[in-house]
Amino acid sequence: MVDEVINWIKDYFENNGKGCKAIVGISGGTDSSVVAALLVKALGKENVIGVLMPKGNQHDIDVSYDIVKYLGIKHYVVNIDAPVDMLTSLIGEEMKLDPNKYDVYKTNTPSRIRMTTLYGISAIVGGRVANTCNLSEDWVGYSTKYGDSAGDFAPISTFTKTEVRQLGRELGLPSKFVEKIPEDGMSGMSDEEKLGFSYGVLDQYIRLGICDDEIAKAKIDYLHRINLHKVNPMPHFEKK
């Protein structure tokens, strides 16, 4: 599968961006690390640019620095704290309220600013932005519409979290990149704590349809149903 994904990336750039740089947001997590490693294998490290986008102080930013150093790729660091705060202030002043009191705003806005940053850099260097979402996250909507769910091409969107880790091991990535506990970096909680079930449980249900925990099964089904809008094409009026 590693070879197939690498060849797919090569074909994508041959047909959709020959000579372009691959732009990838680097969080230090498994998904972005594996995508970055796949891009290096497919395109060469000189054609991959990593972008680190902490919001203020990121407690695990060292892992992000370690992966770009390990892969030997050029990288930029853009702290999104100021633009997020500025936007929040402008909206708050206009609406006469504190946007950060609304969880949907507080959680999703940094992700959308990060994607804007990636496309800003992409526009300057002539690039294509990599989506780093996996199937497990997309299945239950654990992504931000027009934030981390956006991108020009998606190398790992059909792989579960378990399978992404397998790709990382096959690529020879050190375990600190492959086995890192998934977290959003903002809530102080792991993905699994927020979801209420493990990726192992979710991935088994996705691949085999088996889930012995009825509560988890019901929640997974519910999250999948209400979040399909994030992965389906935008509904449009069909002119007859």
Assess whether pLDDT exceeds 90 at residue 63: yes
Confidence of residue 98 (pLDDT cuts 50, 70, 90): very high
CA–CA–CA angle 148, 110, 86 (5° rounding): 145
Q: Per residue in 194-207, pLDDT tens?
A: 888 999 999 999 99
Contacts of 209 (CB under 8 A, 6+ apart): none
Q: How far apart are CA 9 and CA 106, in angstroms?
A: 34
Average pLDDT over residues 139-159: 97
Note the pLDDT of residue 142: 93
Residue ranges covered by each domain of the chain: 2-230
CATH code at 2-230? 3.40.50.620
The tokens describing 100, both together, are: 């950060």
**In the chain, pLDDT over 90 holds for what percent of residues?**
91
Say how many CA atoms lie within 13 Å of 195 toward its Cβ: 28
Q: Using an 8 Å Cβ cutoff, are 140 and 201 in contact?
A: no
The tokens describing 79, both together, are: 């702290």
Note the pLDDT of residue 71: 98
Note the pLDDT of residue 57: 92
Contacts of 195 (CB under 8 A, 6+ apart): 140, 142, 202, 219, 223
Contacts of 235 (CB under 8 A, 6+ apart): none
Burial of 199 (0-12, 13-18, 19+ CB in 10 A): buried
Average pLDDT over residues 199-228: 96
Note the pLDDT of residue 187: 61
The tokens describing 50, both together, are: 């990593």
The tokens describing 34, both together, are: 């594996």
Assess whether pLDDT exceeds 90 at residue 180: no
Assess whether pLDDT exceeds 80 at residue 185: no
What's the Cα-to-Cα distance from 89 to each of 114, 136, 146, rounded to whole Å? 18, 34, 21
Note the pLDDT of residue 188: 67
Q: Per residue in 99-144, pLDDT tens?
A: 999 999 999 999 999 999 999 999 999 999 999 999 999 999 999 9
Q: Per residue in 37-60, pLDDT tens?
A: 999 999 999 999 999 999 999 888
pTM of the model: 0.94
